[in-house]
Amino acid sequence: MTPALIAVAIQEIPNLIDLLKTAFKKRNPDAPQPTSEEVLAALETAYLVSKDIDLRWLSEHAEHD
């Protein structure tokens, strides 16, 4: 991972938040709009769940000596 990629990720966070808010509203038109903090918390949780799934899969498929 390069510093340039990290910089782009940081710069694009507001766009990512807007994207997720828009997607949420399309799927849940009657629900209250989530706050930016809620979107970031959901994104963090989604990342951690995905990472856990990946790590579990890797441990289950590791080559054994």
Given a cut of 80, whether residue 65 has pLDDT beyond it is no
Note the pLDDT of residue 64. Answer: 64
Note the pLDDT of residue 63. Answer: 80
- The Cα–Cα gap between 20 and 22 comes to 5
Radius of gyration of the chain (CA): 16
Contact of 34 with 21, CB cutoff 8 Å:
yes
Which pTM was predicted? Answer: 0.81
> What are the pLDDT digits (tens) for 22-54?
999 999 999 999 999 999 999 999 999 999 999
- The Cα–Cα gap between 18 and 40 comes to 11
- The Cα–Cα gap between 65 and 60 comes to 14
Helix boundaries (H) for the chain? 3-27, 36-60
